[in-house]
């Protein structure tokens, strides 16, 4: 039976509430362990709510379904952990952005199994710590923008991360992205100061403007083979980068792409033909930096536009 109200569920779950890995560690999104009595009075004690068979309906409809669920959460005034995996919904887009009260009380959330695209979980979800979705393949633009409490996401099948998807998520502490990711939009992780990626997915072919701008804990040391372009300010302000290897496939590096990477000591560019280089691409990293290029190409690089500004620090690999 499909339900549009949930208050009885709330009453039943108060006695045995649980949440999705409240320690902040990763899980598979379906491993909801019981953690003892939860009163929902703080974000550390959200009430677990298994919404199996609940009908979310059209998620932009302000008269029932998702709207009713959020209104009941608001009325109860309790922090909650929602398992929506068994919920019905119209279409395959989980749209959390409709202007309904109650969103600020959601701490953990498993998305419906039907959800393939996520939009609209923005800074109005001010308490959200973890979100998971087993079937999600697309995280749309602005999907989680400025969710400053968001620490973890579990989307093992995601392929596309849109523009500004996680911009300003200052608590997001991922060390890896799903292997299936092949598209990351502009500003996607801009300002994610806790992001600690050690590698990028092998399938990406471009890195957009400001994608990792001011990600001060980023620790990658190479760009995947196959990447053809790095946009302006893509890694600007990534002050934890110490060295970076650029692939032979690279055709262009945008303006200030590695600007203000103050710990960067070595850039290895494996492209035989110098990629086009935007202005100030490595500036404010200059005093400690050496640039390595393929054997026999030093002369080509030191005479190429942009690269010749760094001619004194270019040498062979």
What is the tens place of the pLDDT at every residue in 149-204?
999 999 999 999 999 999 999 999 999 999 999 999 999 999 999 999 999 999 99
pLDDT tens per residue across span 8-19: 334 333 322 333
Question: C-alpha 150: how far from its chain's center?
Answer: 10
Of 57, 135, 131, 51, nearest in space to 91 by CA: 57
Phi, psi of 88 (to 5 degrees): -85, 155
pLDDT band at 284 (very low <50, low <70, confident <90, very high): low
> Tokens for 140?
């749309």
130 three-state secondary structure = strand
> Tokens for 3?
């339900």
DSSP state of 51: -
pLDDT band at 98 (very low <50, low <70, confident <90, very high): low
Sign of CA dihedral 37, 39, 45, 50: positive
CATH superfamily of the 159-317 domain: Ribonuclease Inhibitor (3.80.10.10)
In the predicted model, is pLDDT for residue 133 greater than 60?
yes
Question: C-alpha 180: how far from its chain's center?
Answer: 14
Query: Which residues partner with 89 through β-bridges?
Result: none
Query: What is the DSSP code string of 41-105?
Result: SSTTSPEEEE-TTBB--STT-SSSTHHHHHHHHHHHT--EEEE-TT-B-SSSEEE--S--TTGGG
Helix (H) or strand (E) holding 301: helix 298-302
pLDDT tens per residue across span 33-79: 334 457 889 999 999 999 998 999 988 777 689 988 998 999 999 99
Backbone φ/ψ region at 125: left (φ over 0), alpha (ψ -120 to 50), beta: beta
Domain with CATH 3.80.10.10 in the chain: 159-317
Of 103, 92, 89, 101, nearest in space to 59 by CA: 89
Query: Which residues partner with 131 through β-bridges?
Result: 109, 153
The larger pLDDT score, comparing residue 31 to residue 93, is at: 93
Query: What is the DSSP code string of 136-172?
Result: --EE-TTTTTT-TT--EEE-TT--EE-TTTTTT-TT-
Of 261, 257, 312, 262, nearest in space to 290 by CA: 312
Q: How far apart are CA 131 and CA 159, in angstroms?
A: 16
Q: How far apart are CA 269 and CA 271, in angstroms?
A: 6
Q: What number of other Cβ atoms are within 10 A of residue 153's Cβ?
A: 25
Per-chain mean pLDDT for the chain? 87
- What percent of the chain clears pLDDT 70, i.e. is strictly above it? 87
* Count of positions (residues) in the chain: 317
Q: How far apart are CA 303 and CA 307, in angstroms?
A: 7
pLDDT at site 278: 96
Of 14, 18, 49, nearest in space to 33 by CA: 18
Q: What number of other Cβ atoms are within 10 A of residue 191's Cβ?
A: 22
In the predicted model, is pLDDT for residue 21 greater than 50?
no
**pLDDT average, residue stretch 221-234:** 96
pLDDT at site 97: 73
* Cα atoms found within 13 Å of the Cα of residue 8, Cβ hemisphere only: 4
Q: How far apart are CA 237 and CA 212, in angstroms?
A: 9
């Amino acid at each position: 039976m499909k339900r549009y109200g949930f208050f009885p569920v709330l009453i039943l779950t108060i006695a045995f509430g649980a949440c999705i890995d409240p320690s902040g560690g990763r899980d598979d999104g379906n491993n909801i362990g019981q953690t003892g009595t939860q009163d929902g009075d703080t974000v550390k004690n959200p009430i677990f709510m298994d919404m199996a068979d609940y009908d979310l309906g059209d998620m932009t409809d302000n008269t029932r379904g998702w709207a009713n669920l959020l209104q009941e959460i608001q009325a109860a005034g309790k922090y909650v952990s929602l398992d929506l995996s068994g919920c019905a919904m119209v279409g395959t887009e989980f749209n959390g952005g409709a202007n309904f009260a109650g969103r600020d009380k959601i701490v953990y959330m498993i998305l419906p199994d039907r959800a393939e695209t996520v939009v609209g979980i923005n800074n109005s979800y001010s308490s959200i710590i973890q979100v998971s979705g087993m079937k999600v393949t697309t995280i749309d633009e602005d999907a989680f923008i400025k969710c400053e409490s968001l620490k973890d996401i579990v989307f093992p099948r995601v392929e596309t991360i849109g523009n500004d998807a996680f911009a300003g998520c200052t608590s997001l502490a991922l060390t890896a992205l799903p292997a299936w990711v092949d598209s990351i939009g502009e500003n996607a992780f801009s300002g994610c100061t806790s992001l600690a990626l050690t590698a990028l997915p092998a399938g990406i072919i471009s890195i957009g403007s400001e994608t990792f701008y001011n990600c001060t804990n980023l620790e990658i040391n190479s760009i995947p083979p196959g990447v053809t372009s790095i946009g302006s300010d893509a890694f600007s302000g990534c002050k934890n980068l110490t060295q970076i290897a650029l692939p032979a496939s690279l055709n262009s590096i945008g303006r200030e792409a590695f600007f203000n990477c103050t710990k960067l000591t070595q850039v290895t560019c494996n492209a035989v033909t110098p990629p086009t280089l935007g202005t100030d691409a490595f500036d404010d990293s200059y005093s400690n930096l050496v640039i390595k290029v393929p054997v026999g190409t030093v002369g080509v690089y030191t005479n190429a536009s942009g690269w010749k500004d760094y001619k004194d620090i270019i040498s062979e690999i």
